[in-house]
Structure 1
Amino acid sequence: MANQGATFRPDTTEGVRELVAWAAAEATPLEILGHGTKRSVGRAVQAAYTLDLAALSGITLYEPEELVLSAKAGTPVAEIEALLSEHGQELPFEPMDHGPIGGGAAGRGTIGGIVAGNVSGPRRIKAGAARDHVLGVTAVSGRGEVFKAGGRVVKNVTGYDLARGLAGSWGTLAVMTEITVKVLPRPEATATLVIRGLADGEAVRTLCAAMGSPYEVSGAAHLPSAAAEAAGLPGRRAATCLRLEGFAPSVAYRLERLAALLSGLGGAERLEGAPSAALWRAIRDAAPFAGSDAPLWRASVAPMAGPALVSALEGHALSHFYDWSGGLVWIEAGSGIGDGGAAPVRAAVAATGGGHATLVRGDAAVRAAIEPFQTQPAALAALSRRLKAQFDPAGILNPGRMPAAN
């Protein structure tokens, strides 16, 4: 059909179907990508051809009053967010932009890539993950068959929630061509309480106390001094950050009450408007690690276990910070560690009671030598393989990127 190594750029679902059907018939592997901003996550795909979805772009439906939006998979998230902003709305799961930490430009990530990776930002602790806001998808299976799942409203989802099930599959089960998501009104006001100088353990206890309060915290992160400086908080002092959102009078009241609750920790700074928004963009996008090529890990553990995880990595981690009230730990490993930090990171995760860690940035040699995604328990791995066999029996979609695709 084409020369080895060719890139195909279909601009319709039917075009995608034809290409995948051909690849399935020929048992020819395909790498699936939008703009490639998350290409460094997982092992490098060994594929004969590339299926580039960038031309499959555009918002196909937007009903602000119904809080629903549909877009083709290659649509840049920045384009979606700009339209939503015009109507005072937003993607509630606050998706991260992987471009800068991967050495690329900001604003190029696509809605298909966001859903395929189940990419979610600081607000996940309150609003849920990307998959929780997916209402429906149109996709092409590895058999070359078009299917639709879900719909335009939550009540259409019955039985096995396939639309959300594709979230986090990283393009190994099907090629999504159109996605419908639930959107929400953007908060009228946002403010952040910043407490300076806390050590990691005390900071995470503070985050958890704030999350357990009645003040509806929508962001809870702790940045050690170097990370705080890189995120735009000068002074070379650690920063424990708590975000509140909502109607202006409510935010003002809750901010006062939260400050009073935490007054024993010393004075707190308050950020509002643009400075608050800039800080949470930096946290969302792991900005303290942009401009580096050192191995970068994203570990998920029980919130109170985060500081113990970091302590166990002493001598292996160059820098770190905490999001999700301590449950998400970003860790930059020393570049001189032969396995990119895989052995010490995974051992530390296991020692803290369990969780998972994913290598989100690493050179080709490291990604080929280790398993970038956390190894699944045997029963779950078997289920993943059966699911892969149903959707992509020839194994042509992003082969090798995830364990179940190997």
Structure 2
Amino acid sequence: MNSTFKPQSTDETRDVLRWAAAEETPLEILGQGSKRALGRPVQAAHVLDLSDLAGVEVYEPAELVLTARAGTPIADVEALVAAHNQELSFEPMDYGPLLGQEPGRGTIGGVLAGNLAGPRRIKAGAARDHILGMEAVSGRGEIFKAGGRVVKNVTGYDLPRVLCGSWGTLAVATTVTLKVNPRSETSATFLLPGLSDRDAVRAMCAAMGSSAEVSAAAHLPEGLFQRLGLAGQDRPGPVTLLRLEGFGPSVDYRFRALGGLLAPFGIAERVEHDASRAIWSAVRDCLPFAGARTPVWRLSVPPTRGAEVVDRLEREMPVEAFYDWSGGLVWLHNLDGELHDVPIRAAIADCGGGHATLVRASASSRVSAPPLQPQPAPLAALAARLKAQFDPHGVLNPGRMRVDL
């Protein structure tokens, strides 16, 4: 009989995991299920639901530190810190719209399990770069703590970083501590219209290599900017976007400097504060490809090779794509509904290497093709050893990352 366990404390979580380990009974680990369709379908009859393990335990705005229980909705955390003019600088993506769900359903534990990040990753890093500490329960049913609540505390720092991106296959985080940062006074977007993909990548890389302190760089080919659904932003042609943040006079100065540097690419337009933030939220959540069911891939490639990868794939199959992280992140939409996993991964390998993650596809497709990039043998062996140490009975999200993890 299928069961759902809903612990309300770390001790209750430990008790469930001790039972699962003793019985060698697999569990699917969920927060609010917003990312349940990522990775391989979990091979488990029982669910460990962490949605009741919620709430902010400590928030010290003056110390830039926040501690929350793992099931706390990320939307609640972001609203709380925004009320104090602060932010999570890694601006985690909300997968809800892309996966056909309501927005705002992700949890802070899920953000860390997926090591999520948005457009600012090129400057601020991902979730693992902002975690200070955690309390968690291993697949053995053992509670452990790592890290601390102060920014300068580096004791045990590596363990939380290891768990980030493990998709709940190593341990169940019950409480996490993050550093937060002051929110910028001004956000402005430097918008260049009409560039080809290759010229856009050149422009973005030039901007990122300058002293303009660009905090995000994206390019949307023809027709995709319109799909963001932003009021007053009806632009049918290709658009290249660069974000500048900080104090008003500094943003003004850097905008002018960037205009001079990128003058060969055209005359830029300026999108101000609230409209700028709306653009980057839409890019972060991959809204151009939301509302469909056909496969979407997330490609991580060398920034200078992103346009080359897309050009090759466009000649082999019907796809559309846009670029984030200065060209290093390519969102790829397969228009014909086929996976094309082999040619996609071959194109990446031939163009400097990288990773291809299948983000949106049916459950059967996520079984027939590896959703996550297959690891080289040495990394796969290391991952297997970590799994054996943290979850020797294989009770945590079995098969989520690959058949044996």
**Do they superpose with TM above 0.5?**
yes
1:70 aligns with 2:67: yes
RMSD: 1.1
User: Which letter maps to 1:309?
Assistant: V
Aligned to 2:47: 50
* Mapped contact 2:168–2:396 kept (Cα < 8 A): yes
SS at match of 2:29: strand
Aligned to 1:221: 218
Shift of 1:222: 0.4
Aligned to 2:335: 334
CA distance in 2, matches of 1:215, 1:21: 53
Aligned to 1:389: 388
1:103 aligns with 2:133: no
| CA shift digits 1:69-118 (9 cap, x unpaired) | 00000001110011101101000101000011010000111000000000
Count of aligned residue pairs for this structure pair: 401
Aligned residue among 116, 120, 123 for 2:117: 120
* Mapped contact 1:43–1:400 kept (Cα < 8 A): yes
Change (3 A) 1:317 1:127: farther
SS at match of 1:101: coil
Shift of 1:364: 1.0
Shift of 1:48: 1.5
Aligned to 2:301: 301
SS at match of 1:155: coil
* Mapped contact 1:172–1:399 kept (Cα < 8 A): yes
Shift of 1:157: 1.9
CA distance in 2, matches of 1:141, 1:55: 19
CA distance in 2, matches of 1:154, 1:387: 27
* Mapped contact 2:134–2:145 kept (Cα < 8 A): yes
Shift of 1:227: 1.5
1:79 aligns with 2:76: yes
Aligned to 1:203: 200
| CA shift digits 1:339-397 (9 cap, x unpaired) | x1211211111111111010111001110101100010100100000000000000010
1:137 aligns with 2:134: yes
User: Which letter maps to 1:277?
Assistant: R
* Mapped contact 1:334–1:341 kept (Cα < 8 A): no
* Mapped contact 1:388–1:405 kept (Cα < 8 A): no
Shift of 1:405: 3.9
| CA shift digits 1:267-300 (9 cap, x unpaired) | 2111011110110001100010110111110010
User: Which letter maps to 2:198?
Assistant: G
* Mapped contact 2:296–2:361 kept (Cα < 8 A): yes
SS at match of 1:156: coil
SS at match of 1:102: coil
- Name the stretch that deviates more: 213-222 or 327-336: 327-336
User: Which letter maps to 2:299?
Assistant: A
Change (3 A) 1:404 1:133: farther
Aligned to 2:273: 273
Aligned to 2:366: 367
CA distance in 1, matches of 2:236, 2:157: 49
* Mapped contact 1:139–1:177 kept (Cα < 8 A): yes
Shift of 1:404: 7.3
- Name the stretch that deviates more: 266-275 or 208-217: 266-275
* Mapped contact 1:388–1:404 kept (Cα < 8 A): no
User: Which letter maps to 2:266?
Assistant: G
Aligned to 2:166: 169
Aligned to 1:180: 177
* Mapped contact 2:148–2:155 kept (Cα < 8 A): no
Aligned to 1:316: 317
Shift of 1:160: 6.3
The unaligned stretches of length 5 or more in structure 2 are none
Shift of 1:317: 4.4
* Mapped contact 2:59–2:67 kept (Cα < 8 A): yes
Question: If the length of structure 1 is used for normalisation, what is the TM-score?
Answer: 0.97
* Mapped contact 1:143–1:392 kept (Cα < 8 A): yes
| CA shift digits 1:25-56 (9 cap, x unpaired) | 00000000111111111100010200011110
1:7 aligns with 2:8: no
CA distance in 1, matches of 2:391, 2:157: 18
The unaligned stretches of length 5 or more in structure 1 are none
| CA shift digits 1:5-27 (9 cap, x unpaired) | 22111111111100010000000
Shift of 1:154: 3.5
- Name the stretch that deviates more: 156-165 or 79-88: 156-165
CA distance in 2, matches of 1:176, 1:370: 29
